Amino acid sequence: YVNIEDTSEIVCFDSKTFKVLSRYKLVGGEEPSGLAIDRANSRLFTVCSNKVMLVLDAKTGKHIAKLPIGDGADGVVFDATTKLAYSSNGEGTITVVREVSADKFVVEETIKSESGARTIALDAVTHHIFLPTANFEKSTVEGQRPKMIPGTFKVLEFGK
């Protein structure tokens, strides 16, 4: 599975032949970036630029849920043990979504992180999430990403 940002869809392809097997249009989601999967329940989690997380059936493309998330989402991970999906939002938040059942999802909480922390990784053993970030200069050009200030890189760790 792969997000296609410019057409707002998910494409399912055969990883051996690269043949496209199916395309799922993201109704209500624009410019998807991060993509995660719950293999046990065949659920795809995609985060979109219009501040929504969509949950789809991986086999059929059926839309299961549409949930509000923070601005600037870029990554999403799913912890199969805790049944939690995390959206890392560049605005400086993490949206936590609980999988109540295969067909029910709720926003459980919003965690404060740091502005610019929009990439995410999950340690499936400790159930901690990690977000790299840094301090950034103020951008003077609209739409242009600000430059990172050298020596300020850090990795944020969240877990219980």
**2-131: CATH class:** mainly beta
Cα 10 to Cα 45: distance, rounded to the nearest angstrom: 10
For residue range 72-107, list pLDDT tens digits in order: 999 999 999 999 999 999 999 999 999 999 999 999
Cα 34 to Cα 25: distance, rounded to the nearest angstrom: 15
The pair of three-digit structure tokens given for residue 20, joined into one six-digit string: 């496209």
pLDDT at 12: 97
pLDDT at 138: 84
Cα 101 to Cα 32: distance, rounded to the nearest angstrom: 24
For residue range 8-47, list pLDDT tens digits in order: 999 999 999 999 999 999 999 999 999 999 999 999 999 9
pLDDT over 90 (residue 147):
no
Contacts for 26 with CB less than 8 Å, ≥ 6 apart: 8, 9, 10, 32, 46, 48, 54, 56
Q: What is the mean pLDDT of the chain?
A: 96
pLDDT over 80 (residue 139):
no
pLDDT at 140: 77
The pLDDT > 70 percentage for the chain reads 100
Whether the Cβ atoms of residue 54 and residue 41 lie closer than 8 Å to each other: no
- Tell me the one-letter amino acid at 15: S
Q: How confident is the model at residue 142 (pLDDT cuts 50, 70, 90)?
A: confident
Cα 32 to Cα 53: distance, rounded to the nearest angstrom: 9
Reported pTM: 0.94
DSSP string, 77-121: EEETTTTEEEEEETTTEEEEEEEEETTEEEEEEEEE--TT----E
Q: How confident is the model at residue 146 (pLDDT cuts 50, 70, 90)?
A: confident
pLDDT at 144: 82
